[in-house]
Each structure stands twice: as structure tokens, then as C-alpha cells.
Amino acid sequence: MKRSTDRILVTHQGTLPRPDDLRDMLSARSSGQPYDRAALTEHIQRAVREAVQQQVACGIDVVNDGEMSKTSFSDYVSGRLGGLAPTAEPYVSPINGRDWEEVKLPPGKQLIPGVVGHCSDFIEHPELIADRLVTYGRLVGRENIMAGTDCGLGTRVGHGAIALAKFQALAEGARLASKRLWL
């Protein structure tokens, strides 16, 4: 894992918005419909290149492929792991907003808190992101955190421009937090 001793690095996890034509080809592949394998490979490679360029332009330090080759995370996982089935059992995880106070990281480990959300099209303000990162930095050590999203943005936000704006806010929030933590 990439680390920094002089500023908070920025990353994200999960999907990024896919081009419509790629999404259509992936859907055809996953549903067993005919598709052009060579064209799909070319579309995926182009989409990954563009996604990486966009991430770098937004200030993301540790980029990924945006899961461009996958239809969805759940399809990807269920296609590789057996024994997974939906359950009617409710999952309740009450939080009180103070649960993080007891976090202790094992030596050499990093925390990537999801300080930007995937469930809305609202763009978090960089100052809010910075406040969250400073809290975690003071808790586990400034050199042990990396700014991140709480999940993939690709299938959750309304438009690709929103995902990119969230990345820009994330990078700016990390810059602000770094200034506060490395006075």
C-alpha cells in the first residue's frame, strides 16, 4: 500500500461510471447474449485508460480501474464465491457517532475511512471532508490514513460528473486536512 509521511493520500474503491456502450456490452455478456469479444476488450481498455486519466486529473493518488470490466460488484463476487444467498435476516448495526474512538490499528496498517458518500448526488464540502480526516488522523496517526469513498460511485450517483466532483472535493479535503495535521 502506498504511504505518505508528509500529506494524506487520496484513493477510492469500487465502480466508476461506465460509458453507455460499454455497459450495454457488459450486460449482453452477463446475460448470455451475443457480443463482439474483441470490441468489448477494446472498450474496456479505453474506458480504463480514461478512468485513470480522470482520477489523476481530480487529484486521486492511488487509482484503480473503476471496475470497468465488471457488470456489478455483486455479480463479480457471486460468480467467484459459492454459498452466498440472500437472507431475510435483518442486519442492524446501530451507531452512535462515537464508535471510532476505540479504533486501534495493528502496526504497519492503514485506515481508509469513507469520508465521501455514494448514496446521494450531494457533493461533500472539502471542509467537512477535512474535518473527518483530521478526526481519524488524530485517532490513528496522520501517516496511517488515506482519504477514500465509502463505496463505489459508478452505479450510485446520477451522473459521471457528480463522481468526478466528489473526487475533486475529496482531494481538496485531503489537502486541507494535511495542512492542519502537518502544521
DSSP state letters, 85-127: ----S-------S-GGGG--PPTT--B--EEE-SS-SPPPPHH
Average pLDDT over residues 2-19: 93
Segment 102-120 shows an average pLDDT of 88
The Cα diameter of the chain in Å comes to 58
Q: State mean pLDDT over 132-144.
A: 94
Report pLDDT digits (tens) over 13-71. Answer: 888 999 999 999 999 998 999 999 999 999 999 999 999 999 999 999 999 999 999 88
pLDDT at 110: 93
pLDDT of residue 153: 86
Q: How far apart (Å, rounded) are the C-alpha atoms in residues 6 and 20? A: 40
The C-alpha atoms of residue 80 and residue 27 are separated, in whole angstroms, by 18
pLDDT of residue 95: 57
Range 118-133 average pLDDT = 94
Average pLDDT over residues 122-149: 95
Q: What is the pLDDT of residue 99?
A: 61
Contact between residue 149 and residue 112 where contact means Cβ atoms under 8 Å apart: no
Please determine, for residue 94, whether its predicted confidence score (pLDDT) is greater than 90: no
Confidence band, pLDDT 50/70/90 cuts, at residue 91:
low
Q: What is the pLDDT of residue 97?
A: 60
Amino acid at 93: S
Higher-confidence residue: 75 or 22?
Answer: 22
pLDDT at 156: 76
The second-level CATH assignment, the architecture, of 9-78+103-181 is Alpha-Beta Barrel (3.20)
Angle subtended at Cα 26 by Cα 23 and Cα 28, rounded to the nearest 5 degrees: 110
Cell of 98: 462515537
Distance CA 118, CA 42 (A): 28
Q: What is the pLDDT of residue 1?
A: 78
